[in-house]
Amino acid sequence: MKTEISFFLNGSKVIVPVDGHHCLIDILRGPLGLTGTNEGCREGECGACTVIVDGLAVNSCLYPALEAEGKNITTIEGLQGPGNELSLIQQAFVDNGAIQCGFCTPGMIMSAKALLDSNPDPSEEDILEALLGNLCRCTGYVQIVDAVKQAADKLKDKS
């Protein structure tokens, strides 16, 4: 039996029927068609499925879909500008060679965004802690941390 829920997804209200056993990633990638959020382990271990719910980075593979009711949810698709230009964080990943196979990238970027939204001047330790739940099987961690540092610097310049 399905229950209809509504929430704000990348700034727009959506209404979607969900089964009780669905997790958020199931409705994002399924009926909502947003396949930028990747599914890796489905056990809360890899962070590939990270999205932002009410300002916090969460593993959408573990987040019950019914809990999304009334929330503000941002996925990687919500970061681009109106002309589909890359966000500052996405561009920093490109500039720093922080994308290899790209599987971890949406989750990494969403964790980085949640960090920078709450802490615009993070230390290296803060960045490492924020990315602790995100695994990169290509092991490009140095470039990923550099990308987050660059994004933080550019965001500071803008403000």
Helix (H), strand (E) at residue 109: helix 105-118
CA pair distance 11, 7, nearest whole angstrom: 9
Helix (H), strand (E) at residue 3: strand 2-9
Q: In the bound complex, what is the minimum distance in angstroms from residue 144's beta carbon to ligand FES?
A: 8
Both structure tokens of 147: 């990308």
Task: Kindly indicate which of the ranges 40-48, 70-78, 81-89, 145-153 contains the residues binding ligand FES, using the contact rule CB under 6 A.
Answer: 40-48
CA pair distance 159, 147, nearest whole angstrom: 18
CA pair distance 45, 41, nearest whole angstrom: 6
Q: Which is nearer to ligand FES, 121 or 128 (CB)?
A: 128
Do residues 75 and 51 make contact, with C-beta atoms less than 8 angstroms apart? yes
Q: Which is nearer to ligand FES, 81 or 102 (CB)?
A: 102
Instruction: Show the binding pattern over residues 73-112: x = contacts ligand FES (CB under 6 A), - = does not.
Output: --------------------------xxxxxxx-------
Question: How would you write 14-33 as a 3-class SS string?
Answer: EEEEEECCCEHHHHHHCCCC
Q: In the bound complex, what is the minimum distance in angstroms from residue 133's beta carbon to ligand FES?
A: 7
Q: Which is nearer to ligand FES, 6 or 63 (CB)?
A: 63
Q: Which of 34, 51, 58, 59 binds ligand FES (CB under 6 A)?
A: 59
- Contact between 44 and ligand FES by CB under 6 A: the answer reads yes
- Contact between 140 and ligand FES by CB under 6 A: the answer reads yes
Both structure tokens of 149: 């540092």
Q: In the bound complex, what is the minimum distance in angstroms from residue 59's beta carbon to ligand FES?
A: 4
> Given the rule CB under 6 A, which residues bind ligand FES?
39-42, 44-49, 59, 61, 99-105, 136-138, 140
